């Protein structure tokens, strides 16, 4: 599904990710974990070709055989429209505060699929209901909804689009513990019921152990360990991973 190899990212000549390599297998939840500043978000930005100005990525990030790093804007737009869906840290920032939810959710889901507004309304109403969100939210503005509700709206769009790959970058860090748990359950459902492949970026080991099948450990811009969560938790191979796991107890 996704094979990253020798990914190096420089920002204004400074190397922030060095020769990183990892794979995301279809149907699995893979988590990238690492301390703040280890390069997790820059890695995702490189895959989505949304690196900040002055940044440059080299290497390979093969998504279904296509190197995302040298895809044109047009190709990338097409890939992001239906094949890769991204949920960012703070859902509130993903929405325009002055536009009602219905129009925005349509843009994120039905519009991407080429559905009519009527088709969107029917399908989205069912999804909102499943996610225990009232259909009335469609008439509301984002600021009238809580952070947890907005993240659930993003999940509703992901369920609607049914992407090949869902990238979630620290999706629970702005939520309280109860909402975090709820959101993680939804990610699990998406994976188990729809078979969605998920790449989850987090610095929370509890989240990793709860939901991920495989993990990629990053430290100071480098991937120091990859493997199944069960194996790594049982027998961490790298001193940094050991420290990370020890800090959990
Ligand atoms: N816009 C930017 N301009 C210059 N350097 C940046 C920029 N964004 C991030 N960096 C640097 O890139 C490195 C990797 O940052 P990145 O945001 O990928 O870390 P992270 O692992 O996602 O951390 P966090 O968990 O805090 O989000 C850091 O040294 C950071 O200072």
Average pLDDT (211-218) is 96
Contact call for residues 21 and 5 (beta carbons, < 8 A): yes
Instruction: From 132, 5, 145, select the one nearest 61 (Cα to Cα).
Output: 5
Average pLDDT (99-112) is 95
Helix (H, G, I), strand (E, B) or coil at 241: helix
Which residues 6+ apart lie within 8 Å of 141 measured at CB?
A: 97, 98, 99, 100, 101
Predicted ipTM?
A: 0.93
pLDDT digits (tens, 9 = 90+) for 36-85: 899 999 999 999 999 999 999 999 999 988 999 999 889 998 898 889 99
CA distances from 188 to 30, 123, 149, 173, 181 (A): 12, 21, 17, 17, 11
**Whether the CB of 155 sits within 6 Å of ligand 1:** no
Helix (H) or strand (E) holding 19: strand 14-24
**Whether the CB of 40 sits within 6 Å of ligand 1:** yes
pTM over 0.80: yes
pLDDT of residue 249: 62
Query: Which residue's alpha carbon is at the smallest distance from atom 17 of ligand 1?
Result: 41
Helix (H) or strand (E) holding 197: strand 197-202
Query: Which residue's alpha carbon is at the smallest distance from atom 9 of ligand 1?
Result: 42
For the domain spanning 1-83+165-249, the CATH number is 3.40.50.300
**Whether the CB of 52 sits within 6 Å of ligand 1:** yes
Instruction: From 53, 57, 43, 65, select the one nearest 167 (Cα to Cα).
Output: 43
pLDDT digits (tens, 9 = 90+) for 151-204: 889 989 988 998 999 999 888 777 777 778 888 888 898 899 889 999 999 988
For ligand 1, the distance from its centroid to the CA atom of residue 39, given in whole angstroms, is 6
**Whether the CB of 16 sits within 6 Å of ligand 1:** yes
Query: Which residue's alpha carbon is at the smallest distance from atom 29 of ligand 1?
Result: 37
**Whether the CB of 34 sits within 6 Å of ligand 1:** yes
**Whether the CB of 36 sits within 6 Å of ligand 1:** yes
* Cα–Cα distance measured from residue 141 to residue 99, given in angstroms and rounded to the nearest whole number: 6
Query: Which residue's alpha carbon is at the smallest distance from atom 4 of ligand 1?
Result: 11
Domain ranges of the chain: 1-83+165-249, 91-162
* Cα–Cα distance measured from residue 166 to residue 164, given in angstroms and rounded to the nearest whole number: 7
For ligand 1, the distance from its centroid to the CA atom of residue 75, given in whole angstroms, is 26
Atom of ligand 1 nearest to the CA of 44: 18
Give 55-110 as a DSSP string.
Answer: EEEEEEEEETTEEGGG--HHHHHHHHHHTEEEE-S-HHHHS-TTS-HHHHHHHHTH
Over the chain, what is the mean pLDDT? 92
| 22-59 burial: b if 16+ Cβ within 10 Å, else e | bebeeebbbbbbbeeebbbbbbbbbbbbebeeebebeb
* Cα–Cα distance measured from residue 90 to residue 78, given in angstroms and rounded to the nearest whole number: 24
Atom of ligand 1 nearest to the CA of 43: 18
Q: How many helices (H) and strands (E) does the chain have?
A: 11, 10
Helix (H, G, I), strand (E, B) or coil at 7: strand
For ligand 1, the distance from its centroid to the CA atom of residue 175, given in whole angstroms, is 21
Q: Higher pLDDT residue, 182 or 208?
A: 208
């Amino acid at each position: 599904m996704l094979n990253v190899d020798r990914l190096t990212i420089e920002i204004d000549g400074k190397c922030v990710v060095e020769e990183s390599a990892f794979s995301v297998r279809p149907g699995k939840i893979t988590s990238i974990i690492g301390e703040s500043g280890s390069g997790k978000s820059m890695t995702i930005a490189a895959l989505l070709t949304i690196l900040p100005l002055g940044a440059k990525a080299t290497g390979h990030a093969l998504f279904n055989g296509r190197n995302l790093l040298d895809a044109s804007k047009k190709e990338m737009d097409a890939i992001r429209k239906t094949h890769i869906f991204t949920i960012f840290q703070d859902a509130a920032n993903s929405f325009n505060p002055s536009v009602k939810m219905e129009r925005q959710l349509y843009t994120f889901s039905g519009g991407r699929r080429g559905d009519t507004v009527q088709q969107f309304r029917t399908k989205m109403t069912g999804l909102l209901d499943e996610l225990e969100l009232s259909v009335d939210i469609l008439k509301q503005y984002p600021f009238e909804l809580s952070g947890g509700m907005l993240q659930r709206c993003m999940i509703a769009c992901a369920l609607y689009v049914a992407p090949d790959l869902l990238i979630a970058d620290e999706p629970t860090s702005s939520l309280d513990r109860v909402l975090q748990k709820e959101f993680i359950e939804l990610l699990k459902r998406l994976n188990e019921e729809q078979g969605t492949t998920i790449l989850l970026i987090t610095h929370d080991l509890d989240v990793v152990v709860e939901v991920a099948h495989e993990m990629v450990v990053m430290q100071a811009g480098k991937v120091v360990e990859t493997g199944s969560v069960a194996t790594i938790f049982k027998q961490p191979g790298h001193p940094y991973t050991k420290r990370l796991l020890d800090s959990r107890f």
